Amino acid sequence: MDVPTLLSVPNVSEGRDQEVIAAVADAFTGEPRVRLLDVHTDADHHRSVFSLAAPAGVLARALLAGARAALEWIDVITRASGAAAEIGQHPYVGALDVAPVVYLDPRDRGAACAEALVLAELIGEQLEVPVFLYGELTGDEHTPARTRAELRRGGVLGLAERMSANAHPLRPDFGPQRLHRRAGATMIAARPPLVAFNLQLAAPATLADARAIAALVREGGSHGLPGVRAIGVSLGGDVAQVSMNIERPFDVSLAMVIEAVGAHATVASAELVGLAPAVALDGFPQDLAMPGFDPARHLIENALGS
């Protein structure tokens, strides 16, 4: 029986210190059968997104090693009480903030779920970091699936408050009932590919404009697109950005997202974070700049050689 290749897109809460980013990358790739397909770092979001591929049974060990390195290098608890510029634009709950296991073929969903659960148990037991499952690993016919957004609400300090509440405390699925003193918590899921995608708005758009547009185009907004999660942020203090996750890229193309945002403000440029399935780029406007994009590296099919 063939062992499926799975992907993972671990997000680490460090986007500025290159020594730390390199150390975490080395830890992720310590296993010989792990391929590092891409690293996307962002100083404003204070975040690095790693794209990994490995066989089932290998990937969880690689992610555990990266989680251990993130724990050793990154202190999100101290950072959370610092200045806003130190915290960064993107909400987070941990040093290894999120580690989804991604399946490309629906037939590999079971393998991805199993790998994610193994990883969650390893991080909870060996690193003593609380782990919260979300997405397909949660919910049932009576309870909706847990989302990243609800776990990240209020950041790491907000999560700490909910975990220590006297009434109905939020309990992790694995690990201790308290945040790690440095690494906070980690969120884990199994899912099909999504696309992390940012649009920079042309001046004179402001942070308030970006936030208003994000509320309009995200799922549930008055002009919302299905499976689109969006926030508005400010880059360098003067560039407004709509930062999004496109959770249904086989149904909602990036061109559709650009059109939806462009109905409310002029879009200056685009940014792809990590990899995307080729179909997501269908109809992408040729006149919109997307600096750094390389189809050979950033389309999943090309990166995997398929």
User: pLDDT tens digit string along 158-173?
Assistant: 999 999 999 999 999 9
If we measure between CA atoms, which residue out of 257, 119, 135 comes closest to residue 193? Answer: 135
Mean pLDDT of 134-160: 93
Query: What does the pLDDT read at residue 306?
Result: 58
Instruction: Tell me if the domain spanning 5-191 has CATH number 3.30.990.10.
Output: yes
pLDDT > 80? residue 84: no
Query: What's the predicted TM-score (pTM) here?
Result: 0.93
* Rounded-to-integer distance, Cα 249 and Cα 193, Å: 8
Query: What does the pLDDT read at residue 1?
Result: 60
Architecture of domain 195-303: 2-Layer Sandwich (3.30)
Helix H, strand E, coil C: the string for the chain is CCCCEEEECCEECCCCCHHHHHHHHHHHCCCCCCEEEEEEEECCCCEEEEEEEEECCCHHHHHHHHHHHHHHHCCHHHHHCCCHHHHCCCCCCECEEEEEEECCCHHHHHHHHHHHHHHHHHHHHHCCCCEEECHHHCCCCCCCCCCHHHHHCCHHHHHHHHHCCCCCCCCCCECCCCCECCCECEEEEEECCCEEEEEEECCCCCHHHHHHHHHHHCCCCCCCCCCEEEEEEEECCCEEEEEEEECCCCCCCHHHHHHHHHCCCCEEEEEEECCECHHHHCCCCCCCCCCCCCHHHHEHHHHCCC
Q: Same topology for domains 5-191 and 195-303, yes or no?
A: no
For residues 199 and 233, the answer to whether their CB atoms sit within 8 Å is no
Reading the block at residue 172, the tokens are: 């992790």
Average pLDDT of every residue of the chain: 95
* Rounded-to-integer distance, Cα 178 and Cα 69, Å: 20
CB atoms within 10 A of CB 286: 5
* Rounded-to-integer distance, Cα 226 and Cα 279, Å: 17
Terminal Cα distance for the chain, rounded:
20
* Rounded-to-integer distance, Cα 120 and Cα 131, Å: 6
pLDDT > 60? residue 209: yes
For residues 55 and 6, the answer to whether their CB atoms sit within 8 Å is yes
If pLDDT is split at 50, 70 and 90, which confidence band does 142 have? confident
Q: State the amino acid at position 111 in one-letter form.
A: A
The question of whether 45 is a catalytic residue gets the answer no
If we measure between CA atoms, which residue out of 194, 162, 187, 190 comes closest to residue 96? Answer: 187
pLDDT > 90? residue 227: yes
Share of the chain above pLDDT 90, in %: 91
CA 200 to mean position of chain CA atoms: 19
Per-domain residue ranges of the chain: 5-191, 195-303
Query: What does the pLDDT read at residue 236?
Result: 84
Mean pLDDT of 134-149: 92
pLDDT > 90? residue 237: no
For residues 81 and 27, the answer to whether their CB atoms sit within 8 Å is no
Mean pLDDT of 207-211: 97
Query: What does the pLDDT read at residue 140?
Result: 87
Share of the chain above pLDDT 70, in %: 97
pLDDT > 60? residue 88: no
Q: What angle do CA 268, 271, 273 make, to 5 degrees?
A: 165
* Rounded-to-integer distance, Cα 266 and Cα 200, Å: 9
Mean pLDDT of 189-208: 97
Mean pLDDT of 279-292: 97
Q: For the chain, how many residues are written?
A: 306
If pLDDT is split at 50, 70 and 90, which confidence band does 3 have? confident
Annotated catalytic residue within 40, 90, 180, 298:
90
Range picked from 79-83, 90-94, 262-266 for highest mean pLDDT:
262-266
For residues 46 and 16, the answer to whether their CB atoms sit within 8 Å is yes
